[in-house]
Structure 1
């Protein structure tokens, strides 16, 4: 009971200390509100307002029909240019796509020939280039097929493929971006808060005050873990309810309580990692550099940006030891697909195992650090 009281009172001290850190409070507030909104709405995963130009050398009803098929929100209104302005426009970055419709295109098509349309793509704009290429092919093929259908019979396909998009019927990138950015904020802030709390103690000299008190390294570390973890749980849950569900209108199909339970296990791991990194660093700048080395791979290779199946097998196996892999998996399963504990229990067990290992490593390192200062 005495140990629990020490952990509780030290944790309250950590929360009060954070409450006096204005910069950190602003960072927390922005990370779980403005940043989620900006990333979800300002960086669309789908094609959005791509600049396109059309060189119409045919001047036929079909070429005009193709030109009129490109409109917002996927494309800006097409710029009709001549062939001499196409290359300079691409070089200057004015257009992501240029379509060159050759002379006599409609006449050759109706005559049964196979005329070619040239599509130039600015591949340096990689986020738009790949998706836009597929969009343009689909649009042009659709317009040509509809036009030809009115002049001569087309062979019909032997099957009719019906596509149903599950869990996100409109393929809205906001649904995906908001939740994944919430996961990234939870990861970053939990590591930063615990690591900064320990380094702040060291830089202000208050860690020496703790050493002369009847406190163990376990009590000091556990106080930081539960205090910083509690703050992230409260703020992240509020962000999920008021920003993701409320402001962005993203439907949550699963249990918020089950997600919070998984997040709590995940925070046990990341807060321990934050303390471990803080014992490795001698100052806040060093901690920041270590954080960059650790945080970017955790976020980029977790499966939140790219499916794990698309990664090299070696990377997939290595990332099984990363807590973000399992947290992203359970988050998507619970919030998107409405999964229950019967489906996500492997991820829960993985977080418990990884968190235990991280906690023991952090506690061991923290004890050595405390011993060297005593």
Structure 2
């Protein structure tokens, strides 16, 4: 009983020491605030939810009622008001980067459409503007087809559709990209700071020489490690909960149907695993620059291959198997299930269990490495 009381006492006070050290590190404090406020908001707003104010020009060689209807349909906010250009000036305007799209409507276009000849309409796209080029091509194609269909219905009866497809978008009815991007940013930032803060705390002890002070005190490597895990975990948990409540739900207006408390419990459990990885890396690195380079090599696959950015079903089987051994994969699945779909503990308990087991394994490896590192000092 007395040993357990001493363990809790030493872990508590060592953790409070970590809080004081963090409060004196203005760079790290700025990073935490930035990652869970400005960074989350910027990630959600970096890519527009749909095409917005794309530059387009039209070379109308037909000058007919149908071509006028098509030009009039290319309107804000998806497009800037179309500019009229001559056929000979298309290449010049594209080379100068004046327009992302240039639509060329050929002569006798309306007459050929009414005659059923299926005339070709040329769309020139500046593919260097990749995001607008890919999305805008589909927009323009749908607009042209819709206007032709509406125009033809004045002259011919519309054929009956054999099947009426009704689409229902679950969990994100308006298909807002910012909803997904904001929650994904929080999950990725939890991973990054969970690893970075604990590893940096251990490196800071070594660079400042305070690790030697700890060695002459009646504390064990387990107490040192637990103090860093719980203190830095609490910091990231509070910051992520604040970001989810006030940045995602407040500033961005994202609807989160799931339980914030359940996600906080999952985050606390995941931070146990992430902090253990950070301490293990901190024992391998000799200084902060080396730890920073190592962090890049670890974070990139954890974030890219975890399913947060790309569905795991589209990955090779070997990659999926390897990433199933990483706690990030299960935390991403858990977080998306809770926050996006409103899943309860009866649905996500396997992910809870996997995060706990993988976290315990990493904690054991980090503790063994920390003991051997301290023993060699």
TM-score by length of 1: 0.95
Q: Which residues in structure 2 correspond to 1:80-229 (within 5 Å)?
A: 80-229=84-233
Q: Which of 302, 312, 318 does residue 298 from structure 1 map onto?
A: 302
Residues 306-336 of structure 1 show CA distances to partners (whole Å, capped at 9, x for unaligned) of 2222222222222212222111111111111
1:109 Cα offset (Å): 0.3
Mapped pair 1:272 → 2:276 = yes
1:214 Cα offset (Å): 1.4
1:112 aligned counterpart, secondary structure: coil
Closer, same or farther in 2 for the Cα pair 1:278/1:48, shift >3 Å?
farther
TM-score by length of 2: 0.95
Alpha-carbon distance between aligned partners in 2 of 1:31 and 1:118, rounded to the nearest angstrom: 45
1:321 aligned counterpart, secondary structure: coil
Q: Which residues in structure 2 correspond to 1:250-265 (within 5 Å)?
A: 250-265=254-269
Alpha-carbon distance between aligned partners in 2 of 1:91 and 1:283, rounded to the nearest angstrom: 50
Q: Which residues in structure 2 correspond to 1:3-42 (within 5 Å)?
A: 3-42=7-46
1:31 Cα offset (Å): 0.9
1:266 Cα offset (Å): 0.9
Mapped pair 1:362 → 2:366 = yes
Alpha-carbon distance between aligned partners in 1 of 2:322 and 2:50, rounded to the nearest angstrom: 30
Which consecutive residues of structure 1, in runs of 5 or more, have no partner in the other structure? none
**Alignment RMSD (CA, Å):** 1.5
1:101 Cα offset (Å): 1.3
Closer, same or farther in 2 for the Cα pair 1:350/1:85, shift >3 Å?
farther
Number of equivalenced pairs: 373
Residues 231-284 of structure 1 show CA distances to partners (whole Å, capped at 9, x for unaligned) of 111111111111111111111101111101111111111111111111121111
2:324 aligned counterpart, secondary structure: helix
1:153 aligned counterpart, secondary structure: coil
1:68 aligned counterpart, secondary structure: helix
Residues 181-223 of structure 1 show CA distances to partners (whole Å, capped at 9, x for unaligned) of 1111111111111111111111100011111111111111111
Closer, same or farther in 2 for the Cα pair 1:109/1:96, shift >3 Å?
same
Residues 98-118 of structure 1 show CA distances to partners (whole Å, capped at 9, x for unaligned) of 222111111100111110111
Closer, same or farther in 2 for the Cα pair 1:310/1:124, shift >3 Å?
farther
Q: Which of 245, 250, 265 does residue 246 from structure 1 map onto?
A: 250
